[in-house]
């Protein structure tokens, strides 16, 4: 080991993991640029990384075709009873799961180095932050964790001083016998993959996958599944939400946290350039928000991550110019295509499709090829500080005060552009019944309607019924200082299957109405589903929306909404006796309003 670890819990855990996994060497990371460059040189030499000559300090990786996304059916919440994990999680008893995984971990790092990665989720030393330590045998994980979290010797110093941490054990599950040549993306077969969480112990064990949130354990595993359980115990919120600051022409700041399922536009909204004159948007985070009640009685939020792990396909200068400027240099690309002049490319990136590419599987590709050049879930990893619209307060230790919560999803019909909850309780009902048509970020059929409460279905580390109780309790605690709650749908289509709303920068028009609602400056009309803007309440200046399209976009079809009720009832039934009574009453109230 290259440094002496003074934290007794950490030292003991490293020795335990090493005895089980049997690595050839142990290396404790310090988060320096020199370390990052050394790791990348190792990845280049092994053939895992491809240097992109068109982008400074940028690299392309190609995963094994079996290892391309979150694997929800191999993700487990292991609690003392199945009931505590709840109906939305896969459960295995802790003793059984640990026995299985210890068997897999035995000797799994032979021929490899065991990296010890001390990291902070959130600004180092912030009262809202948490420390984690990931043990991994993947240098790809090390370089990504450098970007996505705060890997630093300062974290090690806090640990040496006695700070507690969340242990995160990861292995790709591919021991390397002497003399055997490594492969560019080592991983275990699908049936051997396990992404396991033990929320009662604040413990994460992951085996077999080297991809994204399966391997970068600070991300969904710690920042949502474990943190959500910690937040419930400790009285705060860990949410799958972007955070942005919107500033009016008069200089008033509004902070908005929004929850959408993956690949439903969180990054685009977080980096939006408003089309409404005089309004300014700044990004604080694009994926996860941790929120605690401050001394002023309001919810204050931090982005626990330090980077973006964004979906590349569909990202372009027309959809998200700020993201494109963010990824001009110092980027890790995964499963994108490679251009002949040494750049990354993906579907939707440019209007002109290159005549020749090397696709994400390493094969020649032309426009006549049947398969996509980039995988639909191809990603970029870039540090948040590179974003041109990153907020100067994005690392403020005390966080920013949240004024507005937004829920939403991808719906081609039924759900209008925007509506406001009648109350906090109604807002929790909106979050609890949120639904979206599935995308390539989830494994499974694309386009199916999936109820995804608070966009947390894959990420809540305990019983979702208890999670809903926790949200209701937070509302009681916040009282009149609670954020206002809204629901949006940027994706409604007309009869020809075309999007009715232009989206992107024009979403600022909807956000402006929300801010004016908070200030009591904008009106609304009562509808069965919530408060909706009247035609004169939305700033539509310069938009070429036809009156019929606007009418369709803002319509509430009673018959369609009545048809939603059985699905909501079935959804609520899955939570059994743990569903809050107040949400049953909210559903009854909706039925009455629909008539």
Largest CA distance in the chain: 74
Last residue of a domain, one of 235, 268, 284: 235
Residues 328 and 287 in one domain: no
For 125, residues 6+ apart whose C-beta sits below 8 A from its C-beta are 158, 397
Helix (H, G, I), strand (E, B) or coil at 54: coil
Strands 484-488, 449-451: pairing is unpaired
- Whether residue 226 lies inside any domain: the answer is yes
In this structure, the answer to whether residues 522 and 470 fall within a common structural domain is yes
Which residue in the block uniquely carries the two structure tokens 């993201």?
323
Distances (CA, A) of 296 to 25, 300, 402, 482: 49, 9, 12, 12
Specify the CATH number for the domain of residue 242.
Answer: 3.90.228.20
Domain for residue 477, yes or no? yes
Clarify whether residues 249 and 223 are in a common domain.
Answer: no
Tens of pLDDT along the chain (595 residues) come to 888 899 999 999 999 999 999 999 999 999 999 999 999 999 999 999 999 999 999 999 999 999 999 899 999 999 999 999 999 999 999 999 999 999 999 999 999 999 999 999 999 999 999 999 999 999 999 999 999 999 999 999 999 999 999 999 999 999 999 999 999 999 999 999 999 999 999 999 999 999 999 999 999 999 999 999 999 999 999 999 999 999 999 999 999 999 998 768 899 999 999 999 999 999 999 999 999 999 999 999 999 999 999 999 999 999 999 999 999 999 999 999 999 999 999 999 999 999 999 999 999 999 999 999 999 999 999 999 999 999 999 999 999 999 999 999 999 999 999 999 999 999 999 999 999 987 655 444 555 889 999 999 999 999 999 999 999 999 999 999 999 999 999 999 998 999 999 999 999 999 999 999 999 999 999 999 999 999 899 999 999 999 999 999 999 999 999 999 999 999 999 999 999 999 999 999 999 999 9
Separation CA 249–CA 524 (nearest Å): 22
Examine the domain organization and report whether 325 and 400 are in the same domain: no
Residues 291 and 407 in one domain: yes
Is 475 part of a structural domain of the chain?
A: yes
CA 188 centroid distance within chain: 24
CA 458 remoteness from chain centre: 10
Whether the CB-CB separation of 249 and 279 falls below 8 Å is answered with yes
Q: Residue 545 has what pLDDT?
A: 92
Q: At what angle do helices 558-573 and 581-594 cross, to 10 degrees?
A: 160
**Catalytic (active-site) positions:** 264
pLDDT in the model for residue 52: 98
Q: In the prediction, which pLDDT does 375 show?
A: 98
CA separation for the pair 170, 95 (Å, rounded) = 18
Map residue 484 onto helix, strand or coil. Answer: strand
Is-contact 422 585, C-beta < 8 A?
no
In a domain, 555, yes or no: yes
Do the Cβ atoms of 23 and 169 come closer than 8 Å? no
| 127 in any annotated domain | yes
One domain, residues 228 and 98: yes
Looking at the DSSP bridge assignments, the partners of residue 337 are: 345
- DSSP-based helix, strand, coil % in the chain, nearest 5: 30, 20, 45
Q: What is the DSSP letter of 565?
A: H
Strands (DSSP E) contained in 192-259 are 194-198, 203-207, 237-239, 242-247, 253-259
Q: Is residue 66 part of a domain?
A: no
Contact 199, 461 (CB under 8 A): yes
Residues 166 and 190 in one domain: yes
Give the total number of structural domains in the chain.
3
- Domain assignment present for 54: no
Q: Which of 518, 540, 286 minimizes the C-alpha distance to 389?
A: 286
Closest CA to 207 of 113, 334, 107: 107
d(CA 34, CA 37): 5
**pTM here?**
0.96
For 213, counting Cβ atoms within 10 Å of its Cβ (0-12 exposed, 13-18 middle, 19+ buried), the class is: buried
Q: How far apart are CA 247 and CA 127, in angstroms?
A: 26
Among 202, 195, 197, which Cα is nearest to 233's? 202
Q: What DSSP string runs through 505-564? A: GGHHHHHHHHHHHHTT-S--EE-SSSEE--GGGS--TT----HHHHHHHT---HHHHHHH
CB atoms within 10 A of CB 180: 9
**CA atoms of 528 and 536, how far apart (whole Å):** 20
Report yes or no on 69 lying in a domain: no
End-of-domain residue from the set 386, 417, 449: 386
Q: Are residues 210 and 271 in the same domain?
A: no
Cα separation, 145 vs 136, in Å, equals 11
Provide the residue count of the chain: 595
Same domain for 43 and 97, yes or no, is yes
Lookup: tokens for 245:
């600051």
On whether the CB atoms of residues 329 and 57 are closer than 8 A, the answer is yes
C-alpha 280, offset from chain centre: 24
Q: Which of 331, 355, 386 is the last residue of a domain?
A: 386
pLDDT at res. 443: 45
d(CA 88, CA 452): 10
Which CATH number fits the domain that encloses residue 141?
Answer: 3.40.449.10
Give yes or no: residues 92 and 159 share one domain.
Answer: yes
Question: Same domain for 381 and 370?
Answer: yes
471, 519: one domain: yes
Domain that holds residue 111: 8-48+74-235
Whole-number Å distance between alpha carbons of 509 and 545 = 13
- What CATH number did the domain enclosing 354 receive? 2.170.8.10
The structure tokens listed for 327 are: 């990824």
The pLDDT, as a whole number, for residue 1 is 85
pLDDT attached to residue 448:
81
Instruction: Return all residues near 186 (Cβ < 8 A) that are at least 6 apart.
Output: 64, 172, 174, 176, 210
């Amino acid at each position: 080991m290259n440094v002496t670890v003074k934290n007794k819990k950490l030292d003991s855990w490293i020795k335990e993991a090493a005895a089980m996994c049997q690595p050839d060497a142990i290396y404790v990371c310090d988060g320096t640029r020199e370390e990052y460059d050394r790791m990348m040189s190792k990845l280049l030499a092994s053939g895992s990384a491809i240097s992109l000559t068109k982008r400074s300090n940028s690299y392309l990786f190609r995963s094994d075709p079996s290892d391309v996304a979150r694997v929800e059916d191999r993700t487990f919440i292991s609690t003392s009873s199945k009931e505590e994990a709840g109906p939305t999680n896969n459960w295995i008893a802790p003793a059984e799961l640990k026995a299985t995984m210890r068997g897999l971990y035995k000797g799994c790092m032979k021929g490899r180095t065991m990296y010890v990665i001390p990291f902070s989720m959130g600004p180092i030393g912030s009262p809202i932050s948490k420390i984690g330590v990931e043990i991994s045998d993947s240098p790809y994980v090390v370089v990504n964790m450098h970007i996505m979290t705060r890997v630093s010797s300062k974290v090690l110093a806090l640990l040496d001083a006695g700070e507690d941490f969340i242990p995160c054990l990861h292995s790709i599950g591919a021991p390397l016998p002497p003399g055997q040549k490594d492969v560019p993306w080592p991983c275990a077969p699908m049936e051997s993959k396990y992404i396991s969480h033990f929320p009662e112990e604040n413990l994460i064990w992951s085996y077999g996958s080297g991809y994204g949130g399966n391997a970068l354990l600070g991300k969904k595993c710690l920042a949502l599944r474990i943190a959500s359980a910690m937040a419930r115990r400790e009285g705060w919120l860990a949410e799958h939400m972007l955070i942005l600051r919107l500033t009016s022409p008069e200089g008033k700041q509004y902070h908005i946290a929004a929850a959408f399922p993956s690949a439903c536009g969180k990054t685009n909204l977080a980096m939006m350039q408003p089309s409404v004159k005089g309004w300014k948007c700044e990004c604080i985070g694009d994926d996860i928000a941790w929120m605690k009640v401050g001394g002023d009685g309001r919810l204050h939020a931090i982005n626990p991550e330090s980077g973006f792990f964004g979906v590349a396909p569909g990202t372009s200068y027309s959809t998200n110019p700020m993201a494109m400027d963010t990824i001009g240099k110092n980027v890790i690309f995964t499963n994108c295509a490679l251009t002949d002049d040494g750049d990354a490319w993906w579907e939707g990136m440019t209007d002109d499709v290159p005549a020749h590419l090397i696709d994400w599987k390493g094969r020649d590709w032309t426009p006549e090829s049947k398969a996509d050049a980039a995988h639909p879930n191809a990603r970029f990893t870039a540090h948040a500080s590179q974003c041109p619209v990153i907020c100067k307060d994005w690392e403020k230790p005390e966080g920013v005060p949240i004024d507005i919560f937004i829920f939403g999803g991808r719906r081609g019909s039924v759900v209008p552009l925007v509506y406001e909850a009648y109350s906090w309780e109604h807002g929790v009902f909106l979050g609890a019944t949120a639904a979206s048509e599935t995308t390539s970020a989830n494994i499974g059929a694309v386009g199916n309607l999936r109820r995804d409460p608070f966009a947390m279905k894959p990420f809540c580390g305990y019983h979702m019924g208890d999670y809903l109780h926790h949200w209701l309790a937070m509302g009681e605690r916040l009282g009149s200082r609670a954020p206002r709650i809204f629901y949006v749908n940027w994706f409604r289509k007309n009869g020809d299957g075309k999007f009715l709303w232009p989206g992107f920068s024009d979403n600022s028009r909807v956000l402006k109405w929300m801010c004016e609602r908070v200030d009591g400056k904008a009106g609304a009309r009562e509808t069965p589903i919530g408060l909706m803007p009247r035609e004169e309440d939305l700033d539509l200046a310069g938009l070429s929306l036809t009156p019929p399209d606007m009418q369709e976009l803002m319509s509430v079809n009673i018959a369609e909404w009545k048809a939603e009720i059985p699905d909501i009832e079935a959804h609520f039934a899955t939570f059994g006796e743990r569903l809050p009574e107040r949400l049953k009453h909210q559903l009854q109230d909706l039925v009455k309003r629909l008539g």
